[in-house]
Structure 1
Amino acid sequence: MDSWVRFNAQSQAKERLIRAAQYACMLLGHTLQKTRAASELHRTVSDLEAHMSLTRKLLRLGNSVEALQAAKRTIHLSDSVLRLCLTISHLNRAMYFTCDNVLWAGKTGLLSKLDQQKWSQRSFRYYLFALILNLTRDVYELCLLLDAEARHRSTKSPPPPCDSSTLPADHLSTSSSSSALPTAVAPPLACLRRRLHQALTVLHNNPPLLLDLLKNACDIFIPLDRLGIYRTGPGFVGTCGLASSVLSILTVVQPWLKLKP
């Protein structure tokens, strides 16, 4: 089992490169269609995208085994939230890859009577649920880091209070009728800006979490569009797929950028 996982990992870099090329072709095809370019060129780009999609499905044969192995590892995590999110996410990825393998067999003619639309929708449902769990994990880890940062700051100096004392003196000296709205609105906005700044600072100091969050945020639009839940169009899907593919390639080139566990 371990030897198969190691062998399968060698093909993941190729699969991600082909994935980037596939979504680049999708984006290019959408651009050509909007600019009303030659239909022959548009057809060639569309055929190339379909061939790359089929090649990716071939390279993903056996990925379900790796996903099950990952689920076996994460089920022993001490953190209950991470254990739940990661284990169920890996199990959904295993089902997604299984459906994708069946779909590959249908597209190649091995299963000529396969309902490809049905299996495609089924695979994207598993993919969507896995991405939702991955995003939940990212947000949870971000909250943990923010709490740790808040505790660290509290030991050094107390945070600025979110009340009327944060307003400038000229606001406090105005009449009650004119200062009622700023007093009610400004403090929450100041707190929101401060917390947003803290979140951006934490993400900047944790590149693996930032890359994983961006990658999952880009990827989630793909199944949402394919399932008809939130239509964005091939241009936007191609852009998101290309961006997430580049981020995935970065984690292969620089393994320390991969979020663990």
Structure 2
Amino acid sequence: MTSISSQVILHPAVSQSIKLGSTTLGRDKLYRAVQYFSRFLAWFLLSRGHKEQAAKWNALKSHLALGRKLMRIGKPVEHLQAVLRAVQAYSASETREQITTIGRQLAYFGYLTYDTIVWANAVKFITLKPDTAQKINKTSNRFWLAGILLSITHGLLKAGRLANEAKKLRSKSSEKDIGTEADRELKQRTLELARSGTRQQFIIDILDVWVPAANLGLVNLNDGILGIFGFITSVIALRQQWHVAGKK
């Protein structure tokens, strides 16, 4: 019995789960997945007339959303740091990617800053007039939408550049000055990993963009669709963090 318990408790998957849960980003992605699944389930139950059950899932969604806002306090500074790194990191050939990266990070800085005010008002730490709270919430969503649109633009630009680099690498594969075969394969693998990461982020952005757009009334999508979109992107992001936790 003890042996079985040890095998279960000390299983690598359990250890990896603990590592994932020990990071703020890992918890955030997990909570986000549950939050958006709850949003979908509340909509589904309500559409079937199960009001009491729907209210439970709706309450869980609301509390998780509020809790995630708390975890993100201080995160705007990370985006300011990302702006400075973007200014220093890019070469002259990647100017458009640099501009979209800086714009995206500044937009996320604005979004999370206003989102902190939304949280402070929600927990009654500060008291805002209803119309003021609504304006701040709207501004937060505008920044969020701008950040995602800039991220989509950045993804398209980066995907195009990586595709060109991969094409050039393939065209030079038979030339002697390309270096050793091992070097060429390493460059190819690096490019493929970068392209895969860019594609994943693009999928996340394409699905996530509808959430702030719906919040601003630009599109008319129900909570079921938005819940599924948010759940899918949360699972993709959670999977990425799972692999990161596995490497530690």
1:221-256: CA deviation from partner (whole Å, max 9, x where unpaired): 111111111121111110111111111112212249
Partner of 1:187: none
TM-score when scaled to structure 2? 0.75
Taking the aligned partners of 1:18 and 1:144, their CA distance within structure 2 comes to 35
SS at match of 2:58: helix
Taking the aligned partners of 1:152 and 1:10, their CA distance within structure 2 comes to 38
1:138 Cα deviation after fit: 0.7
Give the % identical residues. Answer: 24
1:34 Cα deviation after fit: 1.7
1:80 Cα deviation after fit: 0.8
Matched, 1:13 2:30: no
Structure 1 residues 108-147: aligned runs within 5 Å: 108-114=123-129, 115-147=132-164
SS at match of 1:214: helix
1:171-203: CA deviation from partner (whole Å, max 9, x where unpaired): xxxxxxxxxxxxxxxxxxxxxxxxxxxxxxx98
1:110-155: CA deviation from partner (whole Å, max 9, x where unpaired): 1122432211111010001010111111111111133234445666
1:205 Cα deviation after fit: 8.4
Taking the aligned partners of 2:192 and 2:216, their CA distance within structure 1 comes to 31
Indicate how the Cα distance of structure 1 residues 155 and 15 shifts in structure 2: closer, same or farther if over 3 A, else same: closer
Partner of 1:99: 114
Conservation of the 8 A alpha-carbon contact between 1:203 and 1:209 = no
SS at match of 2:23: helix
Conservation of the 8 A alpha-carbon contact between 1:219 and 1:244 = yes
Conservation of the 8 A alpha-carbon contact between 1:25 and 1:46 = yes
Task: List runs of 5+ in structure 2 lacking aligned partners.
Answer: 1-21, 174-190
Taking the aligned partners of 1:43 and 1:28, their CA distance within structure 2 comes to 10
Which one of 39, 46, 53 corresponds to residue 58 of structure 2?
46
Partner of 2:220: 231
Which one of 38, 41, 52 corresponds to residue 28 of structure 1?
41
Which one of 206, 215, 222 corresponds to residue 217 of structure 1?
206
Task: List runs of 5+ in structure 1 lacking aligned partners.
Answer: 1-8, 157-201, 257-261
Taking the aligned partners of 2:143 and 2:159, their CA distance within structure 1 comes to 24
Moved more, 93-102 or 207-216: 207-216
Moved more, 52-61 or 111-120: 111-120
Conservation of the 8 A alpha-carbon contact between 1:204 and 1:210 = no
Structure 1 residues 159-174: aligned runs within 5 Å: none
Amino acid at match of 1:131: I
1:13 Cα deviation after fit: 1.4
Matched, 1:249 2:238: yes
Amino acid at match of 2:123: T
Partner of 2:74: 62
Amino acid at match of 1:75: V
SS at match of 2:49: coil
Q: Superposition RMSD on alpha carbons, in Å?
A: 2.3
Taking the aligned partners of 2:193 and 2:227, their CA distance within structure 1 comes to 26
Amino acid at match of 1:18: Y
1:207 Cα deviation after fit: 2.1
Matched, 1:83 2:98: yes
Taking the aligned partners of 1:133 and 1:108, their CA distance within structure 2 comes to 31
Taking the aligned partners of 2:38 and 2:23, their CA distance within structure 1 comes to 24
Greater helix fraction, Structure 1 or Structure 2: 2
